[in-house]
Amino acid sequence: MTVELIKPVKSARKAKGDGHLRRAEILHAAERIFVRDGYQGATIRKIADEVGVSSTALYMHFRDKDEILLEICEGAIASLLASNTEITGRPIDAVSRVRLMLEAYMRFGLENPNTYQLAFCAPQVESVKERSDSVEDLAHRCYQTFKDAVAGIAAEGRLRFGDGSSAAQTLWAACHGLVALRIGRPAVEWEADDVLMTVLLDSLFQGLASA
């Protein structure tokens, strides 16, 4: 009787695909793992397995997990900067401009919770700090466009409390708090996101800015 040897079944690997699409897939997988396992608990092997590629294939796109985390953060802040820049160019009053920026910020966080947690909630990793000049520059430019917009409210004589700097920080902190709690406490029976954002922004601007 002939005995046929059964070859072990290897884990399925995805066929080589478009580089841009595969890179995006790696970033999305890494977001999930960084949030789930923490930065220290995440490994290139875990990320590669999540995507369905070999570690060698993943290294063709990123040299290490530091670079992956930096690109996630850079992409998030670049998206918000683009949004702020577009809103800045609209022919609207200062209060409407700031309100739109804050709404876009909160909506981004609520629609991209993993990205938001990594970019705005997670503590900075020392090894990543040393290579984050481009991210810091983007973050500064992004916040400056927002701060300038708040300063526009003061320039119109409509700011009731504080100055442009303190008002900008307070508005940002309030909106960040809503997004962070909404993401971090999923068991709470939250009202609809649009309702929460509207109530928060109405309350903030009715107190902060005059009509």
Q: Which two tokens stand for residue 45?
A: 């092997």
User: ∠ at Cα 116 (189, 145), nearest 5°?
Assistant: 120
pLDDT of 12-52, one tens digit each? 445 454 556 789 999 999 999 999 999 889 999 999 999 99
CA-based end-to-end distance of the chain: 93
Contact (Cβ atoms closer than 8 angstroms) between residue 157 and residue 70: no
Please name each of the domains of the chain with its CATH number: 14-62 (1.10.10.60), 65-208 (1.10.357.10)
Per-residue model confidence (pLDDT) at position 119: 92
Q: Residue holding tokens 């409390």?
A: 161
pLDDT of 45-70, one tens digit each? 999 999 999 999 999 999 999 999 99
